Structure 1
Amino acid sequence: MTKKLYINNPYLKETHARVIDKSFENDNFHIKLDRTIFYPHMSGGQPKDLGTICEKEVIDVYEDGLNIVHVLEEDIDSKDVNLSIDWNNRFDLMQQHTGQHILSAAFLKLFNAKTIAFHMGEKYITIDVDIVDINDEEILQIETLSNKIIQSNFNVTSSFLDSSNITDLDLSKVPEEEQDNIRIVNIDNISTTPCSGTHVSSTGEIGLIKIINTTNYKGNTRVSFICGNRSLKDYSLKNRYINKISLSLSSGITDVLDKFLKLKEDKENLQKKNKNLKEEIISLKGNRLLEKKKNINGIDYIIENLEGIDKKELNLISSYLNKEENLIQIYKLEDKNQGMFLISKSHNLDINLKELFDSIAQKIIVKGGGNKEKIQGTTSPTIIDRVIEMFYKEIQAYLKTKPNK
């Protein structure tokens, strides 16, 4: 059985231990010790500790019955080993876990909302509380109470009881099964919770709790929050960015939101005006091309060699003109490096341009594609005129065999 030193002394950063068992599995060494300061991964929902054994990295820690198994990529020859944990990581988890107990207690006290799930992530912590809706004012109340508990610097203690001795305790969470040696973490009677995690010894060590987001989740509310040094880093980051934004807007910090909303409104108005202007330009250019149409056997053709126009704009023009009936558009775009083409038809014409493209592609080298209404592609600039001529003749030949709708 591995003695869990972190239970009674989570502040122990280094110690020695003796190897009691070792195996080689999945290309790694799995080592059991007679005692450890390493917390096993996701035991009670808390992530594992980071650190080294004999200066070799521990890549995983897990429970195996009453033993704790340490996973290393490198073997350790000695039976007597030195253990060292990453203290910054351990203390961060202690701050987050104790902070979670406090936040859950605040929800229970103010809104009788119980915590039904929690998750400790690398960036933030989440708890799911059985409350459907919560507003900004209520979040502020929760934060205020939580941080008052922190500032009061209450003691955080733990003890072991069995199931028969916890019936008189006002537990925030009751064990589902009868157990012996249930560890109870108590925050000066503000929170009394069965928990196997590592915790700070007094609430003042947490520093700060900050709720960063709330969302509806399966009929409950999921609360994302951070504690301690994570809160400081988050504040520093946001303060740096808000100051930069404030400077760029020539605005005081309290006026940044109003300025941003005004800029957003102005941008949306400009986008609407720009869209209307683009539509006018497209219609003007389209109508000019329409003036150049030629009627052959009841079908109108626009066959143009265009300069200074990009493919996106040409697509918009061809789509605009497709509202006309009995119209075929055949465009060649000037380019020194490649020959580009776009061919489009009115919706009422019974011809599948994609099938036509596939047929011509078997006779001459072209790249591209499209659908039955519009095709576009490229070919060598030396044969682009020939390709345009082929499409024109194939379309004429096909339409002669089909009555117009």
Structure 2
Amino acid sequence: MFNRSPRLLVSLSAFRRFCTMTYTLEPPLPPTSTPKDYHRLLFDPSAVPAKRIVGLLACQRDPLLRRMTTRVVAVRPAALAAPPAQRGKANKKKPVEKVEEPSNEGTVGGLWEVETEDTVIFPEGGGQPSDTGSLLVASPNGPHEQRLVVEHCLRRKLDSVHLVRVPPELEEDVQGLEGKDVAVEVDWDRRLDHMSIHTGQHLLSAILDTLSLPTLSWSMTAYPSLEPPYVELPRGLTWAEAESVEARCNALINEGKKVWVDVDVQEEGKHARITMAGEDEARGIPKDYTGGVIRVINIDSTDKNACCGTQLPSLALCQSLHVIPPATPSTATKPSSNQPTRLYFTAGPRAVGYLAKISREFSLAAQAIAVGRGDLVERVSSMNEARKETLSREKDLRGELGKVLGDQASLQGKVTWVTRDEKSTHDFEFLGFISSSYFNKVPEGVIVITSSPPGVTPVLLLVQSKDEAAAKAVYEGIKSGLEEAKEEGLKGPRVKGGGAKGRFMGKVEGKWGKADDEVVKRVLDGRK
């Protein structure tokens, strides 16, 4: 037995690639800077039809190809008025910035479905949003091309379907496109953003696998959003772990690790993710994708992962990857959560845009408190400590004031009513300070406290006694009387709340007036 060195792993990987028999899909695509061995067919493609299925599209065979000429095979009006919303899990923990998805708002014409033999526009899949682009059609009135906007691309079983916005005056021309050649062009900025994020996710997940942290799921927002994507992990990371993972990812990016795609026919048992750690994880293939191919994305000596998305042919094109520091305190040596947790990251052009945005926000934050950028963290920490001290003093003062008011209320006897109209003490916590002090002096008493600052709603009502039956009777009596005194036009129950164990709290809708004072007086007079 011997331990495999990194150099041996690379050598073995290169040897296996050299020995694997591969095929070429004809006709070849227009040349780009993508290496010729990026897309490797592991089966004889002689029976592959001219209409390429999803998995063998030009955008998947050469991710750097921006434009191609192809033939239209089907045209029909779309049943949709607008492209479908992006799939994925919503982030409930924090607001996600609005993404300017393609929309029919302000555009002219309806959506048409256009299928072509091949396309450089990727349909949504594998967690990667759809590309957008253009369909360029020869004008019947001259040498110029008519540019039609491709607002979305769907996968329908094995077929790729463009959703094209067609102005009314061009509908007749589009209907006659079947069997004709058109040019298809991808919106490159959107593709590069999505592709960099997707390749970055593969790299990040591969490094996390070596820490026994499998990726449970992942999600990204569509271009032009700068919102960081995330991978969901079995537990959270410490800052030190996150920094180490980021450094390892960027080291491989700086090495310019080669990325390539192995494609084989879809068979049982080939729906697995294979990692350098030697673990296989079941990966879901869409149930309606049958009779197609399985694409395995390889990062040289780092990762193998079944995936349908577009991937950069070299990690160098990813530029950089940044792991957003986790919510765990920066000095913690253990993760704050052992539950599934999202780890946010960003890569490629989005990383540049995101870090520029954060830098500007950092400067604005420094300006807001009149310090230099280098002093911001220290000043904010100091301000936070001062805030905690202020809150502590405020709580002590509120407690002392509540004690004074409770002592004063105890002088009124076993049945008392305290009224408050100060906005600064309009909360049940402060009303509880008063009642606690009162019961220290009058253990068998009944206290009613109302808080109704001018212009503040709802009014707060607290009824408390160690005699639960007495407290409930007083609360229900006041509640019933306030309902009868309700202003016209006020809908629904006026008093909302309840309680137990001798403590009843309610929120009273509407303005508090003299009639309401009379209700409380009447109920308490009945207890004296």
TM range (shorter): 0.7 to 0.9
**Deviation digits for residues 117-154 of structure 1 (CA, Å, limit 9, x no counterpart):** 55241133444568x67544443333223212222334
Matched-pair contact (CA < 8 Å) for 2:409–2:417 = yes
1:143 aligns with 2:246: yes
> Which of 378, 388, 391 is the equivalent residue of 2:517?
388
Matched-pair contact (CA < 8 Å) for 1:23–1:30 = yes
Q: Are residues 193 and 216 of structure 1, via their aligned partners in 2, closer, same or farther at CA, if it must alter by over 3 Å? A: farther
Structure 1 CA distance for aligned equivalents of residues 220 and 191 of structure 2:
14
Structure 1 CA distance for aligned equivalents of residues 80 and 69 of structure 2:
25
1:87 aligns with 2:188: yes
Alignment correspondent of 1:319: 435
Greater share of strand residues, 1 or 2? 1
Percent identity, aligned pairs only? Answer: 18
Alignment correspondent of 1:353: 474
Question: What letter matches 1:152 in structure 2?
Answer: E
TM, length-normalised to structure 1:
0.73
- Which secondary structure does the structure 2 equivalent of 1:84 belong to? strand
**Deviation digits for residues 78-98 of structure 1 (CA, Å, limit 9, x no counterpart):** 414443322111011221222
Q: Are residues 24 and 301 of structure 1, via their aligned partners in 2, closer, same or farther at CA, if it must alter by over 3 Å? A: same
> Which of 304, 312, 323 is the equivalent residue of 1:211?
323
Alignment correspondent of 1:272: 392
Alignment correspondent of 1:124: 228
Question: What letter matches 2:380 in structure 1?
Answer: F
Q: Are residues 394 and 229 of structure 1, via their aligned partners in 2, closer, same or farther at CA, if it must alter by over 3 Å? A: same
Q: Are residues 66 and 175 of structure 1, via their aligned partners in 2, closer, same or farther at CA, if it must alter by over 3 Å? A: farther
Q: Are residues 98 and 269 of structure 1, via their aligned partners in 2, closer, same or farther at CA, if it must alter by over 3 Å? A: same
Alignment correspondent of 2:163: 71
Alignment correspondent of 2:62: 9
Structure 2 CA distance for aligned equivalents of residues 317 and 194 of structure 1:
62
Q: Are residues 218 and 331 of structure 1, via their aligned partners in 2, closer, same or farther at CA, if it must alter by over 3 Å? A: closer
Question: What letter matches 1:40 in structure 2?
Answer: P
More deviation, 351-360/203-212: 351-360
> Which of 12, 19, 32 is the equivalent residue of 2:115?
32
Aligned length: 381
1:207 CA drift (Å) = 0.9
Matched-pair contact (CA < 8 Å) for 1:45–1:118 = no
Structure 2 CA distance for aligned equivalents of residues 341 and 107 of structure 1:
52
Higher relative contact order (CA 8 A, sep 6+): 2
- Which secondary structure does the structure 1 equivalent of 2:383 belong to? helix
Alignment correspondent of 1:99: 200
Structure 2 CA distance for aligned equivalents of residues 141 and 241 of structure 1:
26
- Which consecutive unaligned segments of at least 5 residues does structure 2 have? 1-48, 82-111, 137-146, 222-226, 327-334
> Which of 148, 153, 171 is the equivalent residue of 1:61?
153
TM, length-normalised to structure 2:
0.58
Alignment correspondent of 1:262: 382
1:197 aligns with 2:290: no
Question: What letter matches 2:525 in structure 1?
Answer: Q
- Which consecutive unaligned segments of at least 5 residues does structure 1 have? 401-405
Matched-pair contact (CA < 8 Å) for 1:125–1:225 = yes
Structure 2 CA distance for aligned equivalents of residues 336 and 128 of structure 1:
47
**Deviation digits for residues 92-124 of structure 1 (CA, Å, limit 9, x no counterpart):** 12212222333344445xx36475555241133
Alignment correspondent of 2:124: 41
Question: What letter matches 1:312 in structure 2?
Answer: H
Structure 1 CA distance for aligned equivalents of residues 322 and 248 of structure 2:
12
> Which of 239, 247, 254 is the equivalent residue of 2:359?
239
Question: What letter matches 2:255 in structure 1?
Answer: S
Matched-pair contact (CA < 8 Å) for 2:417–2:447 = yes
Alignment correspondent of 1:403: none
Structure 1 CA distance for aligned equivalents of residues 432 and 265 of structure 2:
75
Matched-pair contact (CA < 8 Å) for 2:242–2:325 = no
Q: Are residues 316 and 202 of structure 1, via their aligned partners in 2, closer, same or farther at CA, if it must alter by over 3 Å? A: same
Q: Are residues 179 and 106 of structure 1, via their aligned partners in 2, closer, same or farther at CA, if it must alter by over 3 Å? A: farther
**Deviation digits for residues 310-352 of structure 1 (CA, Å, limit 9, x no counterpart):** 77178457534652333455879796999x8968454437252
Structure 2 CA distance for aligned equivalents of residues 171 and 380 of structure 1:
68
Cα RMSD, aligned residues only: 4.5
Alignment correspondent of 2:72: 19
